[in-house]
């Protein structure tokens, strides 16, 4: 079974996504805090990390940077899926530099978004 981590501080989004993925048979951990998420990433093994960019404590990019302690650039591009509601060119550029998948919130097509997140 695939193990997912969802980092999202909007509890409704976080819990809804958790439910959706659990129903599809995934094992899901969640975190509303970036700092806690870093601890989780460093101590547990995840197949996929779905990360919001605007968190309350630190940014999603900080989480990715900290994960470099454990993962190679290649791992990061495969494991991380960035979610954002603020797709300014700067944000897009930075996200592209990690070469990971990017999803704009709100999702236009939920099914498609789920595919991007898990494939």
Partner 1 sequence: MENRPDSQNQTSPKSLALYLDPDILDALHQDHYDLGAFNLCSLNEAKFALLKKGDRLWVNYSDGEHCDFPYYLNNVKQVLSDFSQRQNPSKDHTDVFDSLIKTNQKIEKRMFSSVPISHGQNVKDLWDEVIKKINSISHECHSLGSLIERVLDVPFLQSYQSSLVILHIKGQTKAEVLGTLWRSEKHKDLIEVKDFNAFYNSVKKSKIKSFSTDSFGKMNLPFNGSFLAKEVLSKKYSLVAIVSRHDFLSYAKDEIELYETCIDLLQPHFERLIDQEFSDKRISELRVCLKDFPLPLRIKDSITDATFLNDLYNNELQEKDIFFSKRVSGPFTLDIYDSDELRHYAFDLFHFQRISLLGELLNTLRHELSNPLFGLKLGAQIYGTLDVPEDSKEIMSEIEKNINRSQLIIENFSNLYQIQTEKKPVAVKKIIDEALVLTKSETREIDKHIHFSEGTEDLTLEVPLIFVVQIIFNLIINASQAMKQEAIRGVLTLDIKTEYDTLLIDVRDNGPGIPEDKQGELFKPFFTTKPQGTGLGLVLSRNLAVKMGGNLEYFAKNDLKGASFRLTLPLS
Smallest gap from Cβ 46 to partner 1, in A, equals: 21
Residue 10 near partner 1 by CB under 8 A: yes
Residue 1 near partner 1 by CB under 8 A: no
Binding range to partner 1, per CB under 8 A, among 5-13, 26-34, 57-65, 94-102: 5-13
Q: Which two tokens stand for residue 73?
A: 């650039």
Q: Which is nearer to partner 1, 41 or 55 (CB)?
A: 55
3-class secondary structure, 116: helix
Binding test (CB under 8 A) with partner 1, winner from 29, 47, 105, 114: 105
Of 35, 38, 32, 34, nearest to 15 by C-alpha is: 32
Residue 88 near partner 1 by CB under 8 A: no
Of 1, 3, 26, 16, nearest to 83 by C-alpha is: 16
Residue 16 near partner 1 by CB under 8 A: yes
* Strand extents, DSSP E, 72-119: 80-84, 101-104
| Distance from C-alpha of 68 to C-alpha of 17, rounded to nearest angstrom | 25
Please give the residue ranges that form the binding site for partner 1 (CB under 8 A). 10-13, 15-17, 19-20, 85-86, 105-107, 110
């Amino acid at each position: 079974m695939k193990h997912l981590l969802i980092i999202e501080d909007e509890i409704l989004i976080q819990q809804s996504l958790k439910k959706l993925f659990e129903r599809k048979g995934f094992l899901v951990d969640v975190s509303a805090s970036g700092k806690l998420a870093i601890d989780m990433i460093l101590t547990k093994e995840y197949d996929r990390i779905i990360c919001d960019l605007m968190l309350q404590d630190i940014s999603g990019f900080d989480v990715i940077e900290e994960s470099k302690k454990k993962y190679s650039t290649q791992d990061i591009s495969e494991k991380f899926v960035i979610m954002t509601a603020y797709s300014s060119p700067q944000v897009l550029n930075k996200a592209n530099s990690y070469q990971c998948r990017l999803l704009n919130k709100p999702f236009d097509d939920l099914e498609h978004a789920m595919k991007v997140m898990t494939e």
